[in-house]
Structure 1
Amino acid sequence: MNAFLYGVVLQWKLDLRNKGMLITYYVVPLVFFTFMGGIFTSINPHAKETLIQSMTVFGVTMGAILGSPTPLALVYGSEIKKSYKVGGIPIWVAALNNFISAFVHLIIISLVIFFISPIAFHAKMPSNLYIYFLSLVIFIITSLAVGMVLGLIINSTSKLTMVAQLVFLPSIMLAGIMFPVTMLPNVLQNVGKIFPATWAFKLMTSDIFDAKLLIPLVIIIMLSICISGYKLSKIILE
């Protein structure tokens, strides 16, 4: 247990020392939050009502999709994975360490946005904090599960960056955090429903807990677990 916790802490520290990870988890989300938060609330005062949720969705999606898969691609796409086998360490440990480390990073950036938004932009606090934080945790887990799939399937970091962008950009543009989804054509509205960000934004802005909104997120989590488990089992047999 101590060795496992040490691995998690070590991965977390390595993320902080990695400039690329630091930019993905903290710098870009905070810069986007600073500029777009001011722009949104200036153009549309009603944006203050969902500013916390929209900026959090952006930060979590960016960290989970663009940031968290990278360490996995570096480990499982190189000879590093053989050192786990030689040392008698289960091959899934690296994936779990990365998942927990990324979860902590995303919780931190979400809390920063949560506490600064009302002070800097007079953003409205979520009406039901229990629903908000429960939805946030589920959203982070779902997004990281998708990120894990990307990191395990795509071994090349250059290809990973391109594919991750193809997931990240539609997630942000079609989730309703930039503008109401009702402004989009029906086709794009339906496309947006395949991304966790869309359902998470609805959950996080809801005054009541709607279990129906959880179903797509649970399906995404289960599919991601199955794909990740299958990929890890293949790596073990290599």
Structure 2
Amino acid sequence: MTHLLDGQTALVTGASGGIGRAIARRLAEEGAAVALHCRTAVAAAHETAAAIGDRATVVQGDLSDERTCHRVVREAAAWGGGRLTALVNNAAVQPVQPLPGMTAADWRMVVDTNLTSVFACTQAAAELMRTQPDGGTITHIASIEATHPAPGHAHYSASKAAVVMHARAAALEFGPSGIRVNTVSPGLIDREGLEEAWPEGVRRWQEAVPTGRLGSPEDVANAVVFLASPLASWITGHNLVVDGGVSARPTW
């Protein structure tokens, strides 16, 4: 049986969390060998890698550091026999902090983790991909907050808006080298304990979303698989919104 991603080697950053785990699993299910990046949740990353099997490995590092980004990409490619065909920039933080009291250090922490890491990992991956006959794909995980900000998320929303534009700019510059760059922007994704921690927010979402439910990590992972596959061979510079249609709802 053939799969959509047979022969590919992928790196997923932030692969120890719910969305990252689902992305890594779905890439592997479609035939890719997968390097799972983590920063501190090493045990969780190894658990996911073990579930995938011998086509998975774990690489560790703090991606707010540019040199670490390049090292992580190099390690993933070396494990893949010198090839890296897909990068998924998923690692991110989402603190809640009112804008009036936010410091420049608070701002930089979020921007360095969510945006500068995307820049550095993409640059490192593209250096490898442009030497490969078949190029490669790079997919950033952004958010619908790139266009629909929430209170307390000024730094997060701004970083995700920049991630969307980075993908478009990178698509322009790397396209001639056979590298496609796209973005997936999820809406509210379910996770363990979310409804208990934020019942009012979950209720409002379920009332507003046309499909009547929260998203699942697999919804995001399926979009990533599509963009990394030959099915999307003429798609680049695109922001694929995965939000159950909530962004289509009028706000007036």
TM-score of Structure 1 vs Structure 2, range by shorter chain: 0.3 to 0.5
Bigger helix share = 1
Bigger strand share = 2
